[in-house]
Structure 1
Amino acid sequence: MLKSLNKTLLGAALIGASFAPHAFAETTINALFMAQAAYSEADVRAMTDAFSKANPDVKVNLEFVPYEGLHDKTVLAQGSGGYDVVLFDVIWPAEYATNNVLVDVTARITDDMKKGVLPGAWTTVQYDGKYYGMPWILDTKYLFYNKEILEKAGIKTPPKTWDELAEQAKTIKDKGLLATPIAWSWSQAEAAICDYTTLVSAYKGDFLKDGKPAFQSGGGLDALNYMVSSYKSGLTNPNSKEFLEEDVRKVFQNGDAAFALNWTYMYNMANDPKDSKVAGKVGVVPAPGVAGKSEASAVNGSMGLGVTTASKHPDEAWKYVTFMTSQPTQNQYAKLSLPIWASSYQDPAVTKGQEELIAAAKVGLAAMYPRPTTPKYQELSTALQQAIQESLLGQSSPEDALKSAADNSGL
């Protein structure tokens, strides 16, 4: 009897042991995000907590780096298999696909996803007809303005063209309301390329033609000439040449800029009375156009979430990506980044309190202009960043600086 009982207990223990790893198995995935603009770190953590509650068998380790470190962190970690999920900029799929950094997820994209997501958002994750993730941050730069300052200057409507912006800034300066009314993100970084691209789109310029640089003439040259003119005129804050987007936000929120070009996230942050001196005075419109050429201008600043080829847990990683990019998650956190889903814009939970931003988004998101699609984007961007800095500092003419950039672009 005792032997029989022992056998039964041993059998039960063995069965229990065989089930135990499954009952308590926990897969850990590592995800890399950026610590600026769009969704806040707190929002990403809250979304991830919700995912963990729904998927208790998957643990997600989060890491946040500044945008400037995102690309290199992703690439350098490939050898060690450091990340399963990474946030990537719209400018990187060509390089990441060519160098086998991201998993081709074309087969995982469902018809419902294809139908539900705004067509423009898909360009964020596509290269050569394949999908390398899900779009997550749908973003462009808008023109923000201080309603109170414009009113004091007697300006009734915000500028519709870039020339009008300069005229209105001059009026504000001449009336002694602000010494330098415009703030830009012109630090020698990708931020400057986003401002430059916005202007290239306004002037109907081309970055590349037949795979070769074309920005050194036409709209590309007009765009840089405008930047230099704005800088030298004294209408632009001289510190713009060192500013990133967060610097622009702080200057605008402090009431020290009448106009600022920035991403979606600034709208609700600048309207928060806890942190902003201009809460309730923030206006937003699409970035202006150029008379006879364009009604508005916009850069595609969208970003996607993808699974790395180094991931040992691609199924769990994809499950996390689809949760983070799902419509319910995006609608819940629509104050710092607007959803990728078309029907979200009919949802009062998304639009309430930010109707002005949504109106600007309908124009801006439809006008989004891409930075060049090339596996050599990093070299091209670095060359253009240098050209912009040299032109602003008067070390080179815009014509010569852009010619040098074309020569040093690797294309």
Structure 2
Amino acid sequence: MLKSIKKTLIGATLIAAVSAPHAFAETTLNALFMAQAAYSEADVRAMTDAFTKANPDIKVNLEFVPYEGLHDKTVLAQGSGGGYDVVLFDVIWPAEYAANNVLVDVSSRVTDDMKKGVLPGAWTTVNYDGKSYGMPWILDTKYLFYNKEILEKAGIKTPPKTWAELNDQAKIIKDKGLLATPIAWSWSQAEAAICDYTTLVSAYGGEFLKDGKPAFTEGGGLDALKYMVDSYKSGVTNPNSKEFLEEDVRNVFQNGEAAFALNWTYMYNMANAGKDSKVAGKVGVVPAPGVEGKSEVSAVNGSMGLGVTSTSKHPDEAWKYIVHMTSQETQNAYAKLSLPIWASSYEDPAVTAGQEELIAAAKLGLAAMYPRPTTPKYQELSTALQQAIQEALLDQASPEDALKSAADNSGL
């Protein structure tokens, strides 16, 4: 009798196991994302839900941190022997991550269709030393946004094509009493300021490094910082710009308190169609201006990628998730806050509808993206430059002396 009961129990257990395979086969991935700019948290969750519905044996835990915490969270998790399977990383980090074995080389996983379909410039986001350390995901640069209504009231017919013209138009707006400080920038002592500075360096034809050594102390690098200081001191720039991050710039601009603002793609639809925006329907966008005789437009490479960490115990599932998140189908469905990495997406009415002005600016801006310096010591260099920008803005040092100190403190 006992034997038959045991057999019945064993049989029931086996049947239960066969009928519920996911109860014991579930893989859990931990993914680290950014809680600002580009795709919204809601977008990332919706993309992930679509993945887990198609792959019910994979669960994805999402963690969102501000951009400023993304790098350190990733590196510290590695040191503790685990944590994340998939991480979002900035274009400036592959050199450091490759040198310290933070990300897996996924070159062999990248298909020919991916290589052919993704915009060539997007690959610079994830490639270092001939290897791919992930898939590009956020293709981004900074654009010049402007308030069409304010420009019209000031009698300005077209937005500025040069940085000098931007200052001239801002002065007209200020002198007519339309706005006290017409321009908003993100010049807080953070990476945001380096992105604005890089945009200007590209406009002035400057170089960050030459033969691995700092070259920003003269030429276009010096001209860029001088422009920032002149704009700040002239009174056309919002003085709080020295404390602003990108979200502060967005809030000021969409409250109607700035005629011009430099910011990422995501601001276009948030300011032009957002419920909380006071400037909805009045937002114009053009590529960041150039410098007469040196450049037509200017742009910083602010793109980001998704990579598999070297400590992931589930690299195959992690890559599968990345392929879903970066697929053309997923990106085309969420193209209002971040534009796709896929070349043919820009001819798709589902992507372009309602944001033709942004797409037109993107075609010029994305083609002109200028890289921040590629070096394993990027963090030290960036920190030194952030401090130099603040010192120059606050008149604690001349642009020349501030940049010389940055070069000395860059670790290069």
Task: Identify whether the pair has TM-score above 0.5, normalized to the shorter chain.
Answer: yes
Q: Distance in 2 between matches of 1:192 and 1:200?
A: 12
Q: Which moved more, 1:273-282 or 1:111-120?
A: 273-282
Which residue identity is paired with 1:397?
S
**CA-CA distance at 1:72 after TM superposition:** 0.1
Confirm or deny that 1:56 pairs with 2:56: yes
Aligned position for 2:392: 391
**CA-CA distance at 1:380 after TM superposition:** 0.1
Q: Distance in 2 between matches of 1:45 and 1:229?
A: 43
Which residue identity is paired with 2:256?
G
Q: Which moved more, 1:195-204 or 1:73-82?
A: 73-82
Matches within 5 A, 1:206-225: 206-225=207-226
Q: Distance in 2 between matches of 1:325 and 1:72?
A: 24
Aligned position for 1:364: 365
Q: Distance in 1 between matches of 2:404 and 2:388?
A: 9
**CA-CA distance at 1:4 after TM superposition:** 9.4
Q: Distance in 2 between matches of 1:174 and 1:181?
A: 10
Instruction: Give 3-state SS (helix, strand or coil) of 2:296's partner.
Output: strand
Aligned position for 1:147: 148
Aligned position for 2:98: 97
**CA-CA distance at 1:16 after TM superposition:** 3.3
**CA-CA distance at 1:12 after TM superposition:** 3.2
How big is each residue's C-alpha offset from its partner over 1:311-338, in whole Å with a ceiling of 9 and x where there is no partner?
1111111111110000000000000000
Q: Distance in 1 between matches of 2:72 and 2:365?
A: 30
Aligned position for 1:43: 43
Q: Distance in 2 between matches of 1:3 and 1:113?
A: 61
Q: Distance in 1 between matches of 2:273 and 2:14?
A: 57
How big is each residue's C-alpha offset from its partner over 1:250-285, in whole Å with a ceiling of 9 and x where there is no partner?
000000000000000000000125110000000000
Aligned position for 2:262: 261
Matches within 5 A, 1:72-83: 72-78=72-78, 79-83=80-84
Q: Distance in 2 between matches of 1:235 and 1:352?
A: 34
Matches within 5 A, 1:2-401: 9=8, 12-13=11-12, 15-16=14-15, 19=18, 22-24=21-23, 25-78=25-78, 79-401=80-402
**CA-CA distance at 1:221 after TM superposition:** 0.1
Q: Work out the percentage of aligned pairs sharing the same amino acid.
A: 85
Q: Which moved more, 1:5-14 or 1:174-183?
A: 5-14
**CA-CA distance at 1:20 after TM superposition:** 6.4
How big is each residue's C-alpha offset from its partner over 1:341-362, in whole Å with a ceiling of 9 and x where there is no partner?
0010111010000000000000
Q: Distance in 2 between matches of 1:254 and 1:15?
A: 63
Q: Which moved more, 1:21-30 or 1:80-89?
A: 21-30
TM-score, normalised by the number of residues in structure 1: 0.97
- The list of structure 1 runs, each at least 4 consecutive aligned residues, that deviate by more than 2 angstroms after superposition, is 2-24
Instruction: Give 3-state SS (helix, strand or coil) of 1:62's partner.
Output: strand
Q: Distance in 1 between matches of 2:22 and 2:198?
A: 52
Instruction: Give 3-state SS (helix, strand or coil) of 2:262's partner.
Output: strand
Instruction: Give 3-state SS (helix, strand or coil) of 2:56's partner.
Output: coil
2:22/2:56 contact within 8 Å kept = no
Q: Distance in 2 between matches of 1:106 and 1:355?
A: 34
Q: Distance in 1 between matches of 2:3 and 2:371?
A: 74
Instruction: Give 3-state SS (helix, strand or coil) of 2:29's partner.
Output: strand
Q: 1:7 to 1:238 in 2, by over 3 A?
A: closer
TM-score, normalised by the number of residues in structure 2: 0.97
Instruction: Give 3-state SS (helix, strand or coil) of 1:102's partner.
Output: coil
Q: Distance in 2 between matches of 1:299 and 1:68?
A: 18
Q: Distance in 1 between matches of 2:22 and 2:358?
A: 47
**CA-CA distance at 1:21 after TM superposition:** 7.3
Which residue identity is paired with 1:57?
D
Which residue identity is paired with 1:222?
D
Q: Distance in 2 between matches of 1:307 and 1:21?
A: 29
Q: CA RMSD in A?
A: 1.4
